[in-house]
Amino acid sequence: MSQVGSHDAAAEFMGRASNAQKLQALLHRYPWLSSAAVLLIASISFSFFNENFLTPGNLSLILQQVAIVGAVAAGQTLIILTAGIDLSCGAIAIFSSMVMAKTFMGDPYVEGDGLPVLVAFVIGLLVGTFAGWFNGYLVTKFKLPPFIVTLGTLNVFIALTLIYASGRTVTTEEMDPFLLQLGHIINIGEFKVTQGVIVMLLLYIILAFALRFTGWGRHVYAVGDDINAARLAGIQVNRVLLSVYMVAGLVFAIAAWIVIGRVTVASPNTQPDLNLDSITAVVIGGTSLFGGRGTIFGSLIGAIIVGVFRNGLTLAGVDLYYQVLAVGLLIIFAVTIDQWIRKART
Amino acid sequence: MSKSAVLTASNVVKTYGRVVALDGADLELFPGEVLAVIGDNGAGKSTLIKCLSGAEVPDNGSIEIDGSVVTFRKPQDGRDAGIETVYQTLAVAPALDIASNLYLGREIRKKGPAGSILRMLDSSGMKRKAKDHIAALGIGTIQNMSQAVETLSGGQRQAVAVARAAAFGQKVIILDEPTAALGVRESNQVLKLIESLRERGMPVILISHNMPQVFEVADRIQVMRLGKRAAVVTPKTHDMKDAVAIMTGAMKVDAKDQTLKPVR
């Protein structure tokens, strides 16, 4: 292809491309395809092992189980698209859930000490957004690698959660019904999903819209793709990065609401694996850790794949340890595919 | 005949610590001409165009556009004043498509509430206009505006960058080593692009190391030496050997033998 735009040469090149190259080119264009294929194959395989797998009841259960990780992965995707990473995402979610519950409850020994539930809720959302801003500020202002920044703030937010909770769980009885709202079940035909699942899906739809159809979304991709090119094109790179970390923080705080709905208490020790599980979902969903490439719905598929593997292997009677092993192999598989796709020429 | 300059730089000084990059450099660019800026490494040509595009703030001296003094603090200022720069490092986002790259940082929103409230982009409109811009430069080989830039050849990528500059540059287009990373055929494509810019009346500043190319397309050639303008010559009055001699200081050109006025 040395001659510029020789159509014949290009056509000839495409004609000579092997099937592997064509597949590579296809996946290069639609990186979520491989994860969708994995999901499909896994679901069909598991349905052979256990006839209950593909029932609406079981599929509803899987969705309920992935609602939290799925919501956090939505925010995580934004950050990874900018070639960043957020190791503190789960800590932000748990911190926000603690703030929501405890500012509502106040001092449990003083009657009516807490704030109105909506005020407490909004404060929780603001705390999550502010935590995201703090990460983004360190990344943009001091040019620190996001990995290091969020490794630090992971510990900071865990510590703040423990300090604020003062080692105490806010129990279901002390909680306002509004905070528990997302645990309620909605029937959609045969499916029974929690409202948390619906909120998670809404998050995906809104973020997918913003990424696909707005200038902001395009700038997010451009910054992750080549930050210098984006800067020279006149994009205010730091503002884009800061907004991404803040939106992600807000998403983590909304995930906190889903957490409370699911576990029905606010505890500093809940969901310890959330940080890494969200990254797992994003990576399995085909988003490149090098930034600029991937789709947000891929992360939803990624989260569901992890849920399907855990659930399917359990139904097939596979030991828990082997489930962890399977997820580990999945991650390695996903990253290998990503590396291979990135080499695609056409 | 007495055309006035579009862009004038007078006595521009820029130092980096104790290193003097520009030591009172001058430049005049006239309407519709291709002005090449050549010089040895460290002669100050890159710094000079950075000052002109707003990427660097000069310590001293003045820059005028159409006779009025301007002060650039950041690249956006230069761009707002109508100066577009195509950087050596190809400021394109490889995974984004051609239309997105052309309108990167200046996206067009849809009309009505879809644009103002939902902030939706007018993707089809941008694709259509991108196609017009590409076609206007005679780049027939790029057809599909939804193609990712990384699937293009080096020359085609450079063409996208030049098309972006041509689409938005109101006054001046600066090309910084546009052929440095390209093969012979692709370089020729870029030279054709420069010529089609000139045909459209757009003044171009071309920074290049490649003497044959410079002598092929430039109307006037400004030779930089030690942070100053050593001479301005034309391909008609001087040859490449002379240009190298001026660059190295082996040859001095009297003011009367220079070409300080437009030739077109």
Counted across chains A and B, CB pairs separated by less than 8 A come out at: 93
- Distance of alpha carbon A213 from alpha carbon A341, whole angstroms: 25
Contact B93 A345 (CB under 8 A): no
SS3 assignment for A100-123: HHHHHHCCCCCCCCCCCHHHHHHH
Contact A225 B93 (CB under 8 A): yes
| Domain extents in chain B | 7-257
Average pLDDT, chain B: 88
Contact B91 A218 (CB under 8 A): no
Helix axes A146-165, A89-105, angle to 10 degrees: 20
Minimal Cβ distance to B121: which of A215, A221, A226: A215
Query: So what's the pLDDT on residue A344?
Result: 63
Q: Is B144 on the interface with A (CB under 8 A)?
A: no
B79 chain-A contacts, CB cut-off 8 A: 234
Instruction: Please check whether residue A338 is in contact with residue A286, taking contact to mean a CB–CB distance below 8 angstroms.
Output: yes
Query: So what's the pLDDT on residue A17?
Result: 65
Contact B183 A293 (CB under 8 A): no
Q: Is A41 on the interface with B (CB under 8 A)?
A: no
A7 chain-B contacts, CB cut-off 8 A: 141
Helix axes A56-81, A274-284, angle to 10 degrees: 90
B174 pLDDT band, cuts 50/70/90, is very high
DSSP state of A149: H
Minimal Cβ distance to A214: which of B93, B119, B140: B119
Contact A1 B153 (CB under 8 A): yes
Contact B119 A215 (CB under 8 A): yes
Residues facing B29 on adjacent strands: B7
Asked if pLDDT for residue B181 goes beyond 90, the answer is: no
Asked if pLDDT for residue A27 goes beyond 60, the answer is: yes
Handedness of CA A119, A134, A290, A278 (dihedral sign): negative
B18 CB contacts (<8 Å, ≥6 apart)? none
B159 chain-A contacts, CB cut-off 8 A: 4
Q: Which of A76-85, A148-157, A165-174 shows the lowest mean pLDDT across its residues? A: A165-174
The CATH code that applies to domain B7-257 is: 3.40.50.300
Residue B188 in tokens = 């020729």
pLDDT tens column, B105-123: 888 898 888 888 888 999 8
**In this structure, which CATH number among 1.10.3470, 1.10.110, 1.20.120, 2.30.130 belongs to the domain A52-342?**
1.10.3470
Q: Is B80 on the interface with A (CB under 8 A)?
A: no
B151 chain-A contacts, CB cut-off 8 A: 345-346
pLDDT tens column, A286-305: 898 999 989 999 999 999 99
| Domain extents in chain A | 52-342
B96 chain-A contacts, CB cut-off 8 A: 218, 221-222, 225
Query: So what's the pLDDT on residue A60?
Result: 94
Asked if pLDDT for residue B102 goes beyond 50, the answer is: yes
Q: Is B105 on the interface with A (CB under 8 A)?
A: yes
A6 pLDDT band, cuts 50/70/90, is very low
Asked if pLDDT for residue B215 goes beyond 90, the answer is: yes
Query: So what's the pLDDT on residue A308?
Result: 93
